[in-house]
Amino acid sequence: MLVTLSIRNLAVIESVDVHFYSGFHVLTGETGAGKSIIIDALGLLAGGRGSADLIRYGCDKAEIEALFELQEGHPVWDALIKIGIECNHEEYLVIRREITSQGKSASRINGQLVNLTMLREVGEQLVNIHGQHEHQSLLRPERHLYLLDTYGEHIIGPLKASYQEKYSVFVKVEKELRELQSTSQKSFQMLDLYRFQLEEIAVAQLKPGEDEWLAEERVKLSHSEKMMDSVSGAYNILNGQHGVSYVSSAVSLLKDIVNYDENGLKPILEQLQSAYFQLEDAAFQIRDYRENIEFNPERLEEVEHRLDLIITLRRKYGDSVEQIIEYYDKIKKESDLLENKDEHVEKLIQRRDELLVGLLQVAYELSEARKMCSADLASQVESELKDLQMERTTLKVKHDLLEDPRGYEVEGYKVRLTKQGMDNVEFMISPNPGEPLRPLGKIASGGELSRIMLAMKTIFARHDRIPVLIFDEVDTGVSGRAAQSIAEKLFKLSDSCQVFSITHLPQVACMADHQYLIEKNIIDGRTMTSVDNLSDEGRIEELARMLGGVEITTKTRHHAQEMLKLAEARKAVR
């Protein structure tokens, strides 16, 4: 669960430190007080996109930090190990993010720097945020397939992964086949040019790195006479009467007196002996090097011609010998494809057909798994909706194949294959008995959409093990008994995870275990937002405000107190 959240210089929040607990939390306050900023802060910690616009005016950076307490065996520990983060389930998990006024972001998990992708990989297993407009995604049928796959992850997930792997290979082969089949006459006209280029490069018999070592050899051959003179002179000096032999004489003289002052002379003698042996060895090496100096005008001319050839080829085909060889391999493959087009097309068709058989088989299995999960999901959603004052609602998952006259044949239908499979899924609803099932987006009201999404979130929470679930005004568009049912559902949901809700409804607020008041004040000409964990008295005052508006009376306070008592009675019967 989320234990502590610290926010510095984010929007209108200068400094806030909030402690949270297990159970159901609500955030209340006037519109515009900054309730959504708390949610935005958690979104940033979960890997959401940030910008310099989020930083409080006049500040250099915004800072957000959160402490999470997680049980041993939670999936997030494996995710942390996977990305190389040191962690211990007996300690808090600390996530910190900074956004600078230049728009740059720095994120840390347990003090170790991570990139945004790594932060998102961890964050999506810690926090699930249901935004104010997320229930509108139910209006888009293309979103329904994602929701179904999320629900049936344990069955659908492995099949979908297998399908997408096969689909990727299939698409690659089909693209290659399509490109080869559409080869134009112009490409065949290039064949003569390819043949000329292949022959020109092949005759050169290039070797990787050849241009570099030939250039070094040319330098040596061009200066071989001068090198011979200098090397010979150096050897004659070292090997002459005043060379190494003089050092040897100095060694002998010191040896005669070293016993008189070993502390002073012995180190000097050892250095001199070492110098003598090094000079002697250097003299031998210079002699051997001199013997290998090559003075060969014919070889120099041969190297010059070879380098001229390589330079010519580099002008045409690449900046280095390696690039020329790479170009050779490329046009050899292309010319081979052109010369043997029919044979290659036949092989690709055979390969594509083989892949298609396996792909369609997995697509069929994936489709059947979705049908099975569709019925189960619809049944569970209807069961949850009964608790949300929609007991007469019927929900079905309409499941069709993606028909396409140019597609592939499956069970007598021509279907189109996509990265997601061959299925078209849409949620159908009948809010009242006797009415036909219709697309969700055409007949569901805003309040109904909110409750359907809450029902799904409740179902998903049993599977995904995400410890923090956040609802931003999920009760929009509802009132009365429906609002009470949403409050009770949120409270019940908090048995399995930590639940947060931003709300303006007193029916929802009174069911919370903990209530936080978000207030905006002006201090010294600057807007400040504060977050207060309300006491029992504070909750009565805030609920009275939510009930009565501007003026709080004795009656509204009494009503608020009565609501809290009734809520406690309902909560006692979990």
Sequence-separated (6 or more) residues with CB below 8 Å from residue 443: 429, 431
Q: Please check whether residue 498 is in contact with residue 1, taking contact to mean a CB–CB distance below 8 angstroms.
A: yes
Domains of the chain: 1-126+466-534 (3.40.50.300), 210-319 (no CATH), 536-566 (no CATH)
CA–CA separation, 215 and 209 (whole Å): 10
Residue with tokens 């708390």: 38
Q: Please check whether residue 153 is in contact with residue 349, taking contact to mean a CB–CB distance below 8 angstroms.
A: no
- Among 38-47, 334-343, 380-389, 406-415, which stretch is predicted with the lowest mean pLDDT? 334-343
Instruction: Give the three-class secondary structure for 37.
Output: helix
Q: What is the pLDDT of residue 155?
A: 92
Q: What is the pLDDT of residue 459?
A: 83
Instruction: Give the three-class secondary structure for 109.
Output: strand
Separation in Å, CA 558 to CA 186, 524, 537, 540, 568 = 88, 36, 12, 8, 15
The single-letter DSSP state of residue 412 is: T
- 261 pLDDT above the threshold of 90: no
pTM beyond 0.75: no
Q: Please check whether residue 254 is in contact with residue 272, taking contact to mean a CB–CB distance below 8 angstroms.
A: yes
- DSSP track, 42-101: HHHHTT----GGGBPTT-SEEEEEEEE---TT-HHHHHHHHTT----TTS-EEEEEEEET
- 24 pLDDT above the threshold of 90: yes
pLDDT in tens, 482-527: 888 888 889 988 988 899 999 889 999 999 999 999 998 888 888 8
Q: Please check whether residue 180 is in contact with residue 341, taking contact to mean a CB–CB distance below 8 angstroms.
A: yes
- DSSP track, 212-234: HHHHHHHHHHHTHHHHHHHHHHH
CA proximity to 217, closest of 131, 307, 140, 152: 307
Based on its alpha-carbon atoms, the radius of gyration of the chain, rounded to whole angstroms, reads 39
- Sign of the alpha-carbon torsion through 533, 535, 538, 544: positive
Two tokens at 362?
A: 């997995």
The single-letter DSSP state of residue 393 is: -
Pairing of strands 2-10, 13-19: antiparallel
The single-letter DSSP state of residue 138 is: G
Q: What is the pLDDT of residue 444?
A: 61
Amino acid in position 494 = S
Amino acid in position 509 = A
CA proximity to 398, closest of 361, 445, 365, 436: 436
Q: Region 108-130: what's the mean pLDDT? A: 90
Model confidence at 67, pLDDT cuts 50, 70, 90, reads very high
Two tokens at 472?
A: 């931003």
SS (H, E, C) 452-519: HHHHHHHHHHHHHCCCEEEEECCCCCCCHHHHHHHHHHHHHHCCCCEEEEECCCHHHHCCCCEEEEEE
**Residue with more model confidence, 465 or 571:** 571
Q: Please check whether residue 336 is in contact with residue 347, taking contact to mean a CB–CB distance below 8 angstroms.
A: no
Q: What is the pLDDT of residue 69?
A: 92
